[in-house]
Structures are given as C-alpha cells and as structure tokens.
Amino acid sequence: MGKKGHVLMQKYEFGCLLGQGTFAKVYHARDLRTGDDVAIKVIDKERVLKVGLVDQIKREISIMRMVKHPNVLQLYEVLATKTKIYFIIEYAKGGELFNKLANNGRLSENKARKYFQQLISAVDFCHSKGVYHRDLKPENLLLDENGVLKVADFGLSVLVESRHQENMLHTVCGTPAYLAPEVISRHGYDGAKVDIWACGVILFVLLAGYLPFYDLNLMALYNKVSNADYKCPNWVSIETRRLLAKILDPNPHTRISTAKIMGSYWFRKGLNSKSDKMKKEVTTNVALVDSSIEIVGVCEHQSPAIAENHALVKPTYLNAFDIISLSAGLDLTALFANNNEQDGVKFTSTSSASSIISSLEDIARVLEMKIIKNDGGLMKLERLREGRIGALSIDAEIFEFTPSFHLVEIKKSCGDTLEYQKILKEDIRPALKDIVWVWQGEQQ
Ligand code: AMP
C-alpha cells in the first residue's frame, strides 16, 4: 500500500512519499474522479494498536471533522482496510513554511506578520471550537500553491470535554523548544495558553532565523524556557519585541490571549479590509462546521438494477468512523458503546439488501412475529404472543457499505431479555447462517 501508481479503492492514485511521522507516512496522491491533488496519511493499524494509540486516532478523526478553516488542512475522507487507515487530506503543494525561509533563514517583519496573522486566525478559530493543537511547530506549518498557510496535524489535540476535572491537561507532549514553561513543570496546563506560547516561538523563529530557547543540555534549555530567557536580535523592531514579550510570558495567567493579539496594533498592520474578509470567512466556516465534512467511505456508484432495489430498502450509509470501528483488528466499538445485554449483535453480509430483508421476513414467519415497520433500512419485528414483560420486539437495521456489502445490527427493543437471547441463539443466528459473512466482535 502506498506504492507509487497504486490505486486506493478505485479513488486515489498514490504518488511520491511526502514525509514520515512516527506512526504515519504521508503520500501525494491524485483523486481519480476530479484529478485534484490530495495528501494521504497512511496509518498502520497494528502499530497504532501496539502502542495504544487507538484513542488518539479516534480523537484525531473527530477533531478534524469539527475543524474547517482556510488556514487548517481539511480532512476530506477517511478510508480503512484490514491493516491500514487512510486519511485523505487537503494537499499543501507549497510544502513546509520553514523551507521557504530566505538564505539567511528569516523573513522580513511584514512577511513574518502575514504568516503569523494566518496562524493566529487558525489557532483562535480552533480554540473557539474547544480544540487545542498542543504541538505547534514548524513541521506543522505548510503552504498551499498560493502561499496560504495551512496548519497540519491535529493528532495531539484534546477537546475541552476530555480535559481533566480541574480543566487542565496533564499529558506531556510537544517539541521541547516550543514547549511552554507550565508544560515542562508538569503542573497541568491550559491548552489555549500553550498554543499561544508556541505561536510566540514560531514568530521569533520567523523573524530571527533561529530558536529563542536553545541549549544542548536539556536542563539548561528548560531553565531558559521557564524564565523566558531569550534575546531578540537587533533587527527586530521595538513594537514586535513588546508583542513577543507578552506572548512569551512564562506566567500562563498573564500571557496574552489570541483576542488581544488580534486586537494589537502590530497584528492588524496590513490587514485593513482584508481582516474583515478574514473574519467573515471564519464566521462562515463556524456556521458550516460539522455539516461541512462528509467522511463517507462508501462506494457511490451502482448499477441501475441495484439502485432500484435500494430505492425500496434505503439502508443507512456508514461513515468512515463507523467503518474503522467495525473493521477487524481495530474494533473501537467498546470505546463508544456500552456493551451490555441490551446492545445488539452485528454481522456483515455480502448479500444484497433485498436478500437480507427476505431472510428476516422468513425468520419473522417462523417465529410468529409480525413486521410492524420496514423502511429506511430498519425492520421492526414483534411477537404476537405476550411474554413475561410484554411482547418481545426486535429491531434489525441494515447499513450499506457498498450495494453488495452490508452491516446488519439486531437488537431487542422491548420485552424479556432472556427470551430474546434464547431465540437469538437458537433461531435467529442459525437461520441467518447463509447470509452472514462475519459476526462482528467474535473470533472467527
Ligand atoms: P505528519 O506525519 O503529519 O507530521 O507529516 C509528515 C510530513 O509530511 C510533514 O512534515 C509534511 O512535510 C508532509 N505533509 C503532511 N501533510 C501534508 C499535506 N497535507 N500536504 C503536503 N505535505 C504534507
């Protein structure tokens, strides 16, 4: 997988390797339907499982789904196979921002400001969604073909909801030279303040061409960071120094906020009406968030005959998050579902939706159950005779991966659990054996 020329699910043709992170390889690829460039981040499921990163991947998907901003790389789609997860991401043709620095390794104040404005706009937007990057560094700052800044890699972000009780993050992560003092001192930290500190370090590097805090000895480096012990080179203007001092404030409580940075005279220089446009764009994107990214990993093309059948059955489509959670070897179901006896059993089937429906109808007949609902991919079966606590009622829901590959979930919606378990084991399962490909979550 990932070899040049290899076509992924008839959709994307792999190109060259762009870069390699700890758990993922990033490739350039072409969307065969549109001819557009994309980047594909390929994650090895086994490696992710070995190091217990399932949670992080799950988090990365849900976070990337929430973030849509002109300066944040967009996640288009997530696909999964038995061994790999593929993130289809907006391609940043211009590569890493820091490769673009001039010979002396730095930028003029105006150019540095231009990138800083975009960086803060992205960071402020993410913070407003409760998303913190926590690992802002040069490798994560990419450019598109028009030189627009794109922030990459939200793999280490943490949502507000998953913060510790005292509203502080405790995981030590990030790159030492960009780490805020409170992260190093391990006293718990506020993700927003940590990102602002990293933006300060990035601004310094853009202007100076070298890091503000550097020492080969890690303890000495930590000391420098903790005391905000840095010196601006003489070509940095007084105004810029003032802003840098407010950002690189070792006390997170007094450190400047993104709102104040955006309101500062230095930041607003050169923005004028463009800033209003930028603000407008951001607001529009806030409104679009959540509904904007459809990460549906299903086949979209089907024959007319199959399409006709589907008009009757209309199974629910699965998104990539569902697919990943269901695919063998990386079953995340337990992480977001309560596996008690009320929960359904699931199986995948290579039969068409209509054959699945007719098998379920046969079962209903044999078990003397009436079909009280059969549309939108949901069948409701109810027993004619009353049980101990009312009539047993069973739901069977059909989800479509492709026209010839479905997931079916069967669960009790009403009645006695013991009665349900008995008929599930003795009647339903054996009756379905011809159409079941794999019972999910069960060792084959
Ligand atoms: P990552 O594992 O996300 O840190 O990516 C590793 C490297 O791949 C980055 O430092 C970039 O040079 C490159 N890269 C990642 N994502 C993209 C992208 N969407 N477009 C272009 N290059 C990328």
pLDDT at 53: 67
**What average pLDDT does range 396-405 have in this prediction?**
79
pLDDT above 50 (res 331): no
**What average pLDDT does range 405-415 have in this prediction?**
86
pLDDT at 75: 82
Say how many Å lie between the CA of residue 124 and the centre of ligand 1.
Answer: 22
Ligand 1 atom with least separation from CA of 24? 2
Say how many Å lie between the CA of residue 85 and the centre of ligand 1.
Answer: 16
With bands split at pLDDT 50, 70 and 90, how would you rate the model's confidence at 87? confident
**What average pLDDT does range 100-112 have in this prediction?**
84
Q: Are residues 348 and 405 in contact, defined by beta-carbon separation less than 8 angstroms?
A: yes
With bands split at pLDDT 50, 70 and 90, how would you rate the model's confidence at 117? very high
**Ligand-binding site membership of 193 (annotated):** no
Residues near ligand 1 (Cβ within 6 A):
18-19, 21, 24, 26, 39, 73, 89-92, 96, 139, 142, 152-153
Q: What's the predicted TM-score (pTM) here?
A: 0.62
With bands split at pLDDT 50, 70 and 90, how would you rate the model's confidence at 107? very high
Q: Which of 16, 17, 18, 77 to mutate to test the pocket of ligand 1 (most atoms within 8 A of CB)?
A: 18
Using CA atoms, how far apart are residues 169 and 188, in angstroms rounded to an integer? 5
With bands split at pLDDT 50, 70 and 90, how would you rate the model's confidence at 403? confident
Percent of the chain with pLDDT over 90: 35
With bands split at pLDDT 50, 70 and 90, how would you rate the model's confidence at 188? low
Query: Which residue, judged by its Cα, is nearest atom 19 of ligand 1?
Result: 91
Using CA atoms, how far apart are residues 327 and 441, in angstroms rounded to an integer? 9
pLDDT at 431: 92
pLDDT above 50 (res 409): yes
Using CA atoms, how far apart are residues 52 and 59, in angstroms rounded to an integer? 13
Residues classed as catalytic: 135
**What average pLDDT does range 420-438 have in this prediction?**
89
Sign, Cα dihedral of 266, 269, 273, 274: negative
Q: For the ranges 36-45, 261-270, 286-295, which has the lowest average pLDDT?
A: 286-295
